[in-house]
C-alpha cells in the first residue's frame, strides 16, 4: 500500500461471523489495486473472528475488537480513523467479486462525491439506475457495500445511530436528494452481497425505519408511498392466487393452443 494518503479506505464491520470475515478479508487482500487501507471494526466477537484478524494483521492498517452500540456505531468508528479519499463498507460475509474490480473502478471514476456500482447476490443481480431521484428512493435504495463515498462527506455527517437498519438510506437521501451531492453510476458488478445480513432478516423493522425516514424529509410523499405499498401487496396477492395460477397454466396448455390454433 502507498505511504501517502490512500485513495480508498475499506471498512469491514464484524460480529461473530468468522467464516464470512475470512471471505471478505481474502477478497480485499487479493486485489491488484493496492492504493487502499484496510480497517476492521469487530464488535467483541467470541467465535474465533479475532484470531482470524490477527492472522491477516500485516494486511490491516487498523483493527479493534470491543463491544459497540450497533452496526452504524461500528461504521462510525471506522469513519473516524479512515484516512482514504473514499470509504467503502464491505462488511463480513460480503466480498469483492474478483481481484481486478477495484482497479477497474478507480481507473474510470470521475472524482464525484459518491460512486455506486451494481450488486451480485445468490438470488439475482441488483442493477441500479444511472439517475437517482426521489421517486427511486421512495421505493428502493442503492447498494451500500457497492458505494464509494468521499470520506469528507461521511466525516461531516456520520451515520445516524438512532436507525439500526437503514441509516445508510437516510444518509443517501440527505446527501443525494436534499444536498445534491455529485454522483456517478458505474455499470459494474463489484460486490457479492450476503442476503443473511440484518437488513434482509429484519424486514418489519426495516419497513418501519423507511417510513420514519420518508416522513422526516418528505411528509407529503408518505401517503403516496403507503398507497404504493398497499397496491403492490394487493397485486401480489392477486398474482399468487390459486385461481390466477390455474388460469395462467391453462393459457399455456397444449389444449388451449390447439383449440384456438395458436402457433
Return the number of other C-beta atoms located less than 10 Å from residue 117's C-beta: 26
Return the number of other C-beta atoms located less than 10 Å from residue 36's C-beta: 22
Provide mean pLDDT across the span 104-127: 93
Confidence band of 223 (pLDDT split at 50, 70, 90): confident
pLDDT value, residue 227: 79
Return the number of other C-beta atoms located less than 10 Å from residue 52's C-beta: 20
134 contacts: CB under 8 Å, gap ≥ 6: 177, 218, 221
Provide mean pLDDT across the span 106-116: 93
The DSSP secondary-structure symbol of 173 reads I
Please report where in the chains the cell 461521511 appears, as a residue.
154
Pairing of strands 8-14, 36-42: parallel
pLDDT value, residue 118: 97
> pTM to 2 decimals?
0.84
Q: Is there a contact between 63 and 21 (Cβ–Cβ < 8 Å)?
A: no
Query: Which spans in 30-166 are helix H?
Result: 49-55, 71-81, 101-108, 134-139, 151-156
Residue 233 has pLDDT above 70, yes or no: no
The DSSP secondary-structure symbol of 160 reads -
pLDDT-above-90 percentage for the chain: 72
Residue 147 — φ and ψ, nearest 5°? -115, 135
Instruction: Name the more confident of 4 and 156.
Output: 156
Amino acid at each position: 500500500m502507498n505511504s501517502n494518503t490512500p485513495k480508498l479506505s475499506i471498512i469491514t464491520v464484524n460480529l461473530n461471523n468468522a467464516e464470512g470475515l475470512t471471505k471478505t478479508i481474502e477478497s480485499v487482500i487479493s486485489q491488484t489495486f493496492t492504493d487502499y487501507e484496510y480497517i476492521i471494526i469487530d464488535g467483541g466477537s467470541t467465535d474465533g473472528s479475532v484470531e482470524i484478524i490477527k492472522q491477516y494483521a500485516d494486511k490491516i492498517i487498523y483493527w479493534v475488537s470491543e463491544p459497540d452500540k450497533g452496526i452504524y456505531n461500528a461504521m462510525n468508528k471506522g469513519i473516524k480513523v479512515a484516512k482514504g479519499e473514499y470509504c467503502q463498507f464491505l462488511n463480513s460475509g460480503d466480498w469483492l467479486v474478483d481481484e481486478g474490480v477495484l482497479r477497474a473502478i478507480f481507473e474510470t471514476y470521475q472524482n464525484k462525491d459518491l460512486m455506486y456500482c451494481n450488486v451480485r447476490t445468490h438470488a439475482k443481480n441488483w442493477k441500479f439506475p444511472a439517475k437517482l431521484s426521489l421517486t427511486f428512493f421512495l421505493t428502493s435504495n442503492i447498494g451500500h457495500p457497492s458505494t464509494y463515498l468521499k470520506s469528507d462527506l461521511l466525516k461531516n455527517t456520520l451515520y445516524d445511530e438512532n436507525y439500526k437498519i437503514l441509516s445508510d438510506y437516510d444518509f443517501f437521501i440527505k446527501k443525494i436528494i436534499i444536498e445534491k451531492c455529485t454522483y456517478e453510476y458505474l455499470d459494474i458488478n463489484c460486490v457479492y452481497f450476503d442476503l443473511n445480513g440484518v437488513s434482509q432478516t429484519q424486514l418489519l423493522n426495516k419497513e418501519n425505519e423507511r417510513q420514519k425516514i420518508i416522513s422526516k424529509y418528505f411528509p407529503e410523499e408518505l401517503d403516496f408511498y403507503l398507497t404504493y405499498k398497499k397496491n403492490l401487496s394487493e397485486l401480489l396477492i392477486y398474482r399468487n392466487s390459486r385461481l390466477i395460477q390455474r388460469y395462467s397454466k391453462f393459457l399455456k396448455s397444449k389444449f388451449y393452443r390447439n383449440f384456438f390454433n395458436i402457433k
